[in-house]
Structure 1
C-alpha cells in the first residue's frame, strides 16, 4: 500500500488504491485500532464497490468471528467485537433522515462503533463522522480507490498516523492513475 494524501480547506483527507480484497482487508486492519465507542464511519460508493466487504474485514480486524452480511433488508445488525458493540447499518433502502430516526438506533450510537453503508443518506445524524468513499479504479475490476476524510479535529492526528502506517502497503491513487509518488499528509489545509 502506498498513499497520496491531500488536504481540503476544512478537512483532513487522503486517497489510496486497494488492488484487491487482500489490500482492502489490510486497510480495514489499519483503521480498526483507531476506532472507539461512539465513532461512526459513513461509507459511500456505488453498487458493488466493496462497502460490505470493507465492513466484514473491519469487524474481523476488531476481533469478531461473527459472520458479517449486508443488512440491506434487516437495515441494521449488531456484532460483538473485542472493542465492544459494532453496529452495521445499510441506508440503501432508506428515503432519508426521517426513516433513519424511525429505526431508533440513536441510543446505541454512543456505545457502539457504527458503520453505515450508503452513509450519504444519513450524514446529518453523524456530524463527527469518518467518511470513507469507495470507487472503481483502473482497468482491473478488483481495484478500488478509497478516499478517507473527516472535518472532525478528533480525526486529524489519527488520519495522519494512518497515512504514515499505510505508506508502502498500497498503490498511490492520483486522479485514478497509479503514481510512484510517496505519501504526504497535510491536515486542515496546512
Structure 2
C-alpha cells in the first residue's frame, strides 16, 4: 500500500480537530492545525489577530508550516497520515477576504498533492467561537464554500463526512479509506 496523505477540511468549528483527536486515539498518525500556533505566537508579540492585520504574512507562515507537515507526513511509517487542513486552505481564506497572493502559493498547492480530501460541512449546533476563532457561523459557512471551490480547482474529489457522532464520523472515514485502497 502506498502512502496516503489525507486532509480534513471544513469551515471553522465543523469538528475537524475533534475528529483528528479521535483518529489519534485510534492509533492513526495525525498532524494538527497549525494556525492556532501561528496566532498564539503573534499574540505573544502583541498582534491580536495576525490574519486580520497582515493576512499575507499569516498566510505565508501557514503555507510554510503546511509544506513542512506534508514533507514530514511522507516520512511517517504509517500508510495513512491525516492532516487538519491543507495547503489549498490558505488560498481559500485569501480568496474569502478578497486579498491577492503570490503565484508561489498556487504552485505549492499544485506541487504538494493530497491523496484524499474529506470535508466536514458547517454544523451550527456544534459551532463555538473562541480567542483564536473570530468568525461568526455565517462567515464559517462562506469559508466552507471557498474551501470546496478551491480544492475542486486543484482537481480534488471531496468526500463529505456526514453530521453524526464522532465515532460514526471516524468509522465513515476509515470505512471509505478501506474501500478506496
TM bucket (normalised to shorter chain) is 0.3 to 0.5
More helix by share: 2
| Bigger share in strand | 1
